[in-house]
Amino acid sequence: MLKALDRNLERWALLVFYTMLVATMAIEVLRREVFAYSSIWGEEIVRYSFIYLAWIGASAAVRERAHIRIDVIFHYIGARAKALLYIFGDLVMLGLALLAVYWSMETIAVSWKFGSVSHGLRVSMVWFLLAVPIGFSLMTFRLVQSLIRDIADFRAGRPPYEGERLFD
């Protein structure tokens, strides 16, 4: 069960938010074009689904090393140097992710303190602001996994995991 969750957590979450986004957008287009009526809650659901989609997708990209990067130098260096560069990059990203979690929690605390709600849904903004720390927390988890894998590969002399390539 834990292996399936580790392998597919982001995929399942992305599927939920993408389905919610597409279904709500389709309903809102139909309502707007057929009934000449639209709602503010539909626009908010689409907006916040997209925000969650982006942050969870960033975590999925970290897991697969699929973020956009300039990797020309990787073609000219050996496996050990490549592993060291990946480890360095993951450490820098880990520091950034931890800072982002820390600073985003302040915004959530302020929203919680003053009880701000969304305009259309009348739901606490805390639920929507949580997208940032959830996304960066997932990224932190995936970066720690990546660091463990890269350090083990480096010690064993194996080439580092380079992720799946979208285009070659």
Domain assignment present for 163:
no
Per the CB < 8 A criterion, the answer to whether 45 and 26 are in contact is no
Residues 6+ positions from 154 with CB-CB distance below 8 Å: 80, 83, 84, 87, 160
**Structural domain boundaries enclosing 9:** 2-156
Q: Whose CA is closest to 146, among 23, 26, 6?
A: 6
Domain assignment present for 67:
yes
Domain assignment present for 113:
yes
Domain assignment present for 109:
yes
Alpha carbons 95 and 136: distance in angstroms, whole number: 11
Q: State the total domains in the chain.
A: 1
pTM of the model: 0.84
Domain assignment present for 49:
yes
Torsion of Cα atoms, 10 then 94 then 74 then 6, to 10°? -30
Tens digits of pLDDT across the chain (168 residues): 778 777 888 889 999 999 999 999 999 999 999 988 888 888 899 999 999 999 999 999 998 888 877 778 888 888 899 999 999 999 999 999 999 999 999 999 999 999 999 888 889 999 999 999 999 999 999 999 999 999 999 999 898 988 766 554
